[in-house]
């Protein structure tokens, strides 16, 4: 299989994995919304966002170095084993220190971050989860860097299935509410961390040590990226904190369900980028016009695929929520299109930011874009959320994405003008937004809280028209893809 074919294969595996997990989550919406109040849902979402920020902080963004340094160390197996071992020990020690300080500062954490939520047992479970969550994230990035899409998919499905099983026991069976979800996450992460160590040792991929030279190089690469990662994850956390303080945990719950649905689009983008980035780095390393041209030709069909998914989620999230969720969650759909628009703008970001991640000196500049976008998001959230509730949070997301993407594009083109067709990318995003807006006219004006077959059919017309345009634009790529599948998989 060619390396380009491997990119598409891994993209399919990552996307299949993400969509499968999301699909199962959709099917579980009636269960979770029946046994979790909107306040419970708000608690779990707030905890999840905090965990993401804390994990990034504890790990010093070293996850980013796992993929990038694999390209440099893959020919030296001993150095690579020492590199993995160094990261495991360093991140493990850092997370334990963070946990100790968090327990000492628990009153401050409750007052600032978790207003109205009990420390015992809820917040304590959240804090105990952080060290083990770090191991899960590290292992995922190791598999991604090694381009082991199949193994990544299998382990992710097993991880998710085990968590869902525990949720059924704790949330449905024992009716533990938000604490049941959090306890399930903790148990699964503990067991998965044990598996990670066992698997890396079994495959002789790790040597436990602290190689200060490798650690210094990795930190030199990753620490400048911390403002980038933290700003990207902190803004959603602050938005939910403001929602909680301005309204209630129930608003956080509605917004959480909306972000869960809209995140399908970003999951696909991230999944594709997980396969695209290692291949992209290798193409830049070749540093030839042909290699860059191949990258550009790959980007355009990906944008069309993203557009189809954006439109599907933006148009039909209303039906999903009205049919599958309890009535108390009904209005959550109305903010989903705003979040989808923000994520459609972000699609341009993934292509340009990979350029900055490749060039180690340029990677230090990424924080300028993400921090600027985060500051805009936070300011907009403070101004809009107290007035417009969850819609204010959605608008803040759109504004911040515009700022972040604009800055990344400007910096990236100065570092290496790979040749991405920016005007075409922007045109595809605008076209997608227009189709979302037109398709939702009757949803917002006449059928906001009721399912209508007429409205559903109206949306299907918009979706079919856009899909037809996308398929026509990708006809050569679709033909090439089928030929590749026939060549590699059909004997």
Answer for the pair 337, 459: CB distance below 8 angstroms, yes or no: no
Residues in contact with 286: Cβ distance below 8 Å, sequence separation at least 6, in sequence order: none
**With bands split at pLDDT 50, 70 and 90, how would you rate the model's confidence at 481?**
low
Nearest to 276 by CA among 469, 489, 133, 418: 418
Per-residue pLDDT at 318? 95
**With bands split at pLDDT 50, 70 and 90, how would you rate the model's confidence at 171?**
very high
Per-residue pLDDT at 2? 53
Per-residue pLDDT at 126? 93
pLDDT single digits (tens) 206-257? 999 999 999 999 999 888 878 777 877 888 899 999 999 888 889 999 999 9
Least confident span in 6-20, 141-155, 453-467: 6-20
Residues 337-354, mean pLDDT to the nearest whole number:
93
DSSP string over 247-275 = T-HHHHHHHHHHHHHHHHHHHHHHHHHHH
In angstroms, the CA 116 to CA 118 distance is 7
**CA angle (296 as vertex; 293, 299 as ends), nearest 5:** 155
* 134 C-beta neighbours (distance < 10 Å), count: 27
pLDDT single digits (tens) 44-77? 989 988 998 999 889 998 888 888 788 888 888 8
**pLDDT of 489 higher than 60:** no
In angstroms, the CA 380 to CA 390 distance is 12
pLDDT single digits (tens) 275-305? 788 788 888 888 788 888 888 888 888 899 9
Per-residue pLDDT at 8? 64
5 burial type by CB count under 10 A (0-12 exposed, 13-18 middle, 19+ buried): middle
End-to-end CA distance of the chain: 14
Q: How far is the CA of 136 from the CAs of 56, 63, 143, 265, in angstroms?
A: 12, 11, 11, 22
HSE at residue 241, side-chain half, CA atoms within 13 A, is 17
Per-residue pLDDT at 243? 92
The two tokens of residue 441 are 């006219």
The two tokens of residue 84 are 């993995």
Q: What is the mean pLDDT of the chain?
A: 88
Answer for the pair 5, 481: CB distance below 8 angstroms, yes or no: no
Per-residue pLDDT at 487? 61
The structure's pTM equals 0.78
Per-residue pLDDT at 182? 95
CA dihedral 44, 46, 51, 53 (to 10 degrees): 160
In angstroms, the CA 31 to CA 16 distance is 23
The two tokens of residue 90 are 């360093």
Least confident span in 27-41, 93-107, 134-148, 284-298: 284-298
**With bands split at pLDDT 50, 70 and 90, how would you rate the model's confidence at 27?**
confident
**With bands split at pLDDT 50, 70 and 90, how would you rate the model's confidence at 348?**
very high
Answer for the pair 272, 302: CB distance below 8 angstroms, yes or no: yes
Nearest to 341 by CA among 311, 376, 370, 366: 311
Residues 462-480, mean pLDDT to the nearest whole number:
88
Q: Which residue has the tokens 């990038």?
A: 68
Signed CA dihedral, 426, 427, 430, 431: sign only: negative
**pLDDT of 264 higher than 70:** yes
Nearest to 227 by CA among 58, 410, 365: 365
Least confident span in 50-54, 121-125, 221-225, 390-394: 221-225
Nearest to 329 by CA among 342, 318, 341, 316: 318
Q: How far is the CA of 230 from the CAs of 108, 222, 256, 370, in angstroms?
A: 20, 12, 20, 9
- Of the chain, the percentage scoring pLDDT greater than 70 comes to 95
Per-residue pLDDT at 175? 92
Q: Which residue has the tokens 């026991």?
A: 169
Q: How far is the CA of 390 from the CAs of 34, 47, 83, 248, 261, in angstroms?
A: 22, 18, 43, 11, 14
In angstroms, the CA 20 to CA 5 distance is 22
Answer for the pair 36, 198: CB distance below 8 angstroms, yes or no: no
In angstroms, the CA 339 to CA 11 distance is 23
Nearest to 55 by CA among 176, 170, 179, 138: 138
In angstroms, the CA 198 to CA 193 distance is 9
**With bands split at pLDDT 50, 70 and 90, how would you rate the model's confidence at 488?**
low
Q: Which residue has the tokens 């304590």?
A: 124
Residues 150-163, mean pLDDT to the nearest whole number:
91
- Of the chain, the percentage scoring pLDDT greater than 90 comes to 51
Nearest to 128 by CA among 109, 166, 102: 102
Answer for the pair 81, 208: CB distance below 8 angstroms, yes or no: no
Nearest to 140 by CA among 207, 45, 67, 59: 67
3 burial type by CB count under 10 A (0-12 exposed, 13-18 middle, 19+ buried): exposed
Q: Where are the alpha helices (DSSP H) in 105-148?
A: 106-112, 124-145
pLDDT single digits (tens) 408-458? 999 999 888 888 889 999 999 999 999 999 999 999 999 988 899 999 999
Given its phi and psi angles, is residue 248 left (phi above 0), alpha (psi -120 to 50 degrees) or beta?
beta
């Amino acid at each position: 299989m060619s390396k380009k074919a491997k990119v598409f294969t891994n993209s399919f595996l990552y996307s299949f994995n993400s969509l499968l997990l999301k699909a199962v989550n959709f099917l579980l919406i009636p269960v979770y919304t029946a046994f979790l109040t909107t306040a419970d849902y708000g608690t779990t979402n707030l905890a999840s966002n905090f965990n993401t920020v804390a994990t990034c902080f504890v790990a010093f963004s070293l996850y980013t170095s796992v993929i990038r340094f694999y390209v440099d160390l893959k020919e030296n197996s001993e150095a690579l084993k020492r590199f993995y071992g160094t990261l495991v020990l360093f991140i493990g020690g850092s997370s334990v220190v963070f946990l100790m300080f968090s327990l000492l500062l628990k009153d401050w954490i409750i007052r600032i971050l978790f207003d109205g939520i009990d420390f015992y047992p809820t917040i304590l479970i959240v804090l105990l989860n952080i060290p083990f969550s770090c191991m899960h994230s590290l292992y995922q990035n190791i598999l991604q860097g090694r381009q082991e899409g199949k193994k990544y998919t299998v382990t992710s499905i097993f991880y998710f299935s085990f968590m869902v099983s525990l949720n059924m026991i704790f949330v449905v069976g024992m009716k533990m509410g938000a604490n049941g979800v959090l306890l399930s996450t903790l148990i699964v992460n503990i067991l998965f961390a044990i598996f990670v160590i066992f698997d890396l040792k079994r495959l002789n991929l790790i040597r436990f040590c602290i190689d200060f030279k490798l650690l210094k190089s990795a930190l030199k690469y990753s620490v400048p990226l911390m403002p980038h990662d933290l700003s990207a994850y902190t803004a959603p956390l602050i938005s939910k904190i403001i929602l909680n303080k301005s309204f209630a945990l129930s608003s956080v719950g509605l917004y959480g369900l909306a972000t869960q649905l809209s995140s399908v689009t970003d999951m696909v983008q991230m999944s594709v980028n997980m396969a695209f980035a290692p291949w992209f780095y290798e193409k830049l390393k070749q540093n030839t016009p042909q290699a860059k041209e191949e990258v550009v030709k790959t980007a355009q069909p990906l944008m069309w695929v993203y557009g189809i998914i954006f439109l599907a989620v933006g148009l039909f999230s209303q039906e999903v929520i009205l049919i599958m969720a309890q009535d108390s969650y009904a209005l959550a759909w109305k903010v989903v299109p705003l979040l989808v628009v923000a994520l459609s703008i972000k699609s341009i970001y993934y292509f340009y930011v990979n350029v900055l991640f490749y060039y180690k000196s340029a990677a230090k500049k990424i924080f300028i874009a993400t921090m600027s976008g985060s500051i805009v998001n936070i300011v907009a959230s403070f101004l809009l959320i107290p007035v417009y509730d969850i819609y204010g949070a959605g608008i803040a997301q759109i504004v911040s994405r515009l700022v972040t993407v604009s800055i990344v594009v400007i910096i990236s083109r100065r570092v290496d003008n790979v040749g991405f067709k920016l005007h075409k990318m922007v045109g595809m995003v605008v076209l997608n937004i227009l189709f979302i807006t037109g398709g939702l006219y009757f949803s917002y004006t006449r059928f906001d809280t009721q399912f209508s077959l007429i409205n559903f059919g109206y949306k299907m017309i918009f979706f079919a028209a856009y899909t037809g345009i996308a398929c026509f634009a990708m006809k050569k790529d679709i033909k090439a893809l089928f030929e590749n599948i026939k060549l590699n998989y059909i004997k």
